[in-house]
Structure 1
Amino acid sequence: MTFSSLSTYWVVALLLLSSCSQDQPVATTTSPTPPAPDTASTATVPIAAPAAVLSSADVVKATGHDTLRTTTGQVITVQPADLAAWQRARPDALPALPDSVDAPSLAQTGGRVQRSGLNLTLTAANGRTVVLKNDTTDTEDAIAYLYWGELPSVHQWVVNVWLWEGRYVVLIDQRTGQRTDIWGQPAASPDGRYILASSYDLAAAFDANGLQLLRLGTKGPKVIWQRELHNWGPAEARWRPDGTVVVKQGFGPTEEGTDLPPRYVTLSLPTSFR
């Protein structure tokens, strides 16, 4: 072996040893390439539509997912309706609202409700007598109790109360004589278990503007839910046979003084109320 061939041999050997050394491994700056996906086994996952956000029904125009929430956590759903739905609903059994004299239906009470001067006297089936006395003084204490009518399915006499400014309604239970003060016009449910009171006062703000729900008990009705509104007022409420309610919405006058046309919504009571 010649010297030149020997030199070549050692050079090649040193290069092979350096390439096999484990003391200082070479660091890599590139990530390994991931394997290609198996397109044959990959399924397309549908993207779920976002859930509708439940908004308050205290809005100028109702949508399909409005609610009226209660302080105890119940949710009353509110849906837009139309004039036809309102006309098909059960009308209120009360006569026209009395202004200065008792309703003509006073004579139909068989003497159990009587007017004697300033006193309106109502005698319940258990013998209890309730006397409501008018105050005709020209002061802020003035008050006038006027017999309005009755809701026989829920055993209630209805009395309208005129104040110096504003009004409200008194219910007197025909069985027990219990008095229950409510915001406004009552409407009885078809099953005789509930009363929905509606009061509309967006302009003057003397009265409550909102809804009250009362449940009938052995002694009389009890308020189980109420909600004051700010953007519309319940001008009147009517029950439907299925237990839902159609409400006629009022919006008050515009800045120009013209009245806006009414709209209509349906209320569905939660099952916890039924």
Structure 2
Amino acid sequence: MQPAEKQRPSVALPPQLPKPPTPPRIYRLAHLDTIVQVPGRVLRIYPAPRPVYDKLESPAWVIAKPASAEEEESFLDFTVEEKRRLVHAGAQVLRTGRALRLRPTKGPEVRLLNNPVGNEQHVAYEYVTSLPEIKQWLVSVHLYEGGYYMLVDQRNGRRTQLMAPPVISPDGRHFVCGNSDVLAHFEPSGLQLWSAEGSNLRLLWERQTEWGCTNPRWLDNKTILFEQDFFDKGDVDTRVVRLNVVP
């Protein structure tokens, strides 16, 4: 007869380790994390906390884009808002009929004439504000589809075309322009960095991107936070990110 088999002592199984969390999809979209080929280097883009972004100042001249067809209709009729601004613009800025007139201190008057036709030749110039930190006037240029912004030098009348309203660094030495049009593509999406030192504005670098840059705000004199709009799974999503734009 075979001896009875002894009962084996119970062995405790090692605890089952929890599965590592799956990172949100946004962190797996690597093309959103860099701006490449900025002369000789790659700029890294990092996620940033929204509460920090919300506490940063946004310039009053950064006009929110219309969120609906009704808002867009009223947005196109800028004359009422412009009249209010012109009251505080001073004697160097005035409108006469279709002409927006800007008078530099050491140059000829700049006349920007509206052409209100309903086709590709349509253009309308809207006075937005004076930017004494960089000695410029800001003008919004409305085209038949889309538009852009223009700076006019208060000293000599020199014009500078921008992709979006300028947001000036705390020390006044730089400004950034960030634009987002990832759905319609009437305007370029991307980011510009300008130098505002001296008597001339200078474009340091510009990148058009497949994602959009909305409402950039300066964290310090070298770093901005902004809302990064990106097209994913048939819709536009947004996250807050941080970018060091000045070396």
The verdict on a shared fold, with TM-score over 0.5 as the criterion, is: yes
**What is the aligned length?**
208
Residue 197 (1) aligns with residue 177 (2): yes
TM-score, reference length from structure 1: 0.68
Q: Percent identity?
A: 31
Q: 1:252 to 1:92 in 2, by over 3 A?
A: farther
**Aligned twin of 1:50:** none
Counterpart position of 1:235: 214
The structural deviation recorded for 1:253 is 8.1
State the match for 1:170 in structure 2. Answer: 150
Alignment of 1:251 onto 2:230:
yes
Q: 1:252 to 1:105 in 2, by over 3 A?
A: farther
For residue 160 of structure 1, report the CA deviation from its aligned partner. 0.7
The answer as to whether partners of 1:195 and 1:213 remain within 8 angstroms in 2 is: yes
Conservation of the 8 A alpha-carbon contact between 1:201 and 1:233: yes
- For the 8 Å contact 2:62–2:165, the answer to whether it is kept is no
Quick one: which amino acid aligns to residue 128 of structure 1?
P
1:254 deviates by 5.5
Q: Between Structure 1 and Structure 2, whose CA radius of gyration is higher? A: 1
Judging by fraction of residues, say which structure has more strand: 2
Distance, in Å, in 1 between the alignment partners of 2:37 and 2:87 is 40
Alignment of structure 1 residues 199-238 onto 2, 5 Å: 199-230=179-210, 232-238=211-217
Which consecutive unaligned segments of at least 5 residues does structure 2 have? Answer: 1-24, 65-74
Q: CA deviation at 1:184?
A: 1.2
CA distance in 1, matches of 2:143, 2:214: 19
Superposition deviation, residue 73 in structure 1:
1.4
Q: CA deviation at 1:81?
A: 0.5
Counterpart of 2:120, as a letter, is: E
RMSD: 2.4
Question: Conserved in 2, the CA contact under 8 Å of 1:90 and 1:240?
Answer: no
Task: Tell me the distance in 2 between the aligned counterparts of 1:179 and 1:210.
Answer: 21
- Specify the alignment match of 2:57 in structure 1: 90
| Structure 1 residue 77 displacement after superposition | 3.0
Residue in structure 2 matched with residue 69 of structure 1 by the alignment? 36
Correspondences of 1:1-274 after superposition (within 5 Å): 61=27, 66-94=33-61, 96=63, 99-100=76-77, 101=79, 102-103=81-82, 104-230=84-210, 232-251=211-230, 255=234, 260=237, 262-271=238-247
Q: Render the CA deviation track for 1:224-264: whole Å, top value 9, x for unaligned.
A: 1001111x211211112343101112235863xx653x211
* Distance (Å, rounded) in 1 between the aligned partners of 2:93 and 2:230: 36
